[in-house]
Amino acid sequence: MQLLTVAVVDLSTGRTFMVGAFPYAVRKMLDLGMVTEFKTKIEMAREMLDVLKGYFRVSRVVFDSWY
């Protein structure tokens, strides 16, 4: 398992809001039959963004990943 960490930065005020850290399965775990559901980090982030748009005015999204 790995973690997808999501934070929101309000560029007009400089305030940062930690949304959370969400566990996700990697593709190899799906291939080995260890999990039955799989979403990429980008798919998970897009779903979260749809929810966050209800609370924040979103004008830009920056996505970064470490391997």
Range of the domain at 45: 2-52
Report the alpha-carbon distance of residue 38 to residue 31 in Å, rounded.
10
Q: What is the pTM of this model?
A: 0.63
- Determine, yes or no, domain membership for 16: yes
Other Cβ atoms less than 10 A from the Cβ of 39: the count is 14
- Determine, yes or no, domain membership for 60: no
> Is the Cα dihedral 46, 14, 21, 54 positive or negative?
negative
- Determine, yes or no, domain membership for 39: yes
Judged against a pLDDT cut of 70, whether residue 65 lies above it is answered with no
- Determine, yes or no, domain membership for 31: yes
Report the alpha-carbon distance of residue 52 to residue 20 in Å, rounded.
12
Mean pLDDT of 5-19: 84
19-61 tens-digit pLDDT: 888 888 888 888 899 988 888 888 888 888 888 888 887 777 7
Angle at 66 between CA 30 and CA 29, to 5 degrees: 10
- Determine, yes or no, domain membership for 58: no
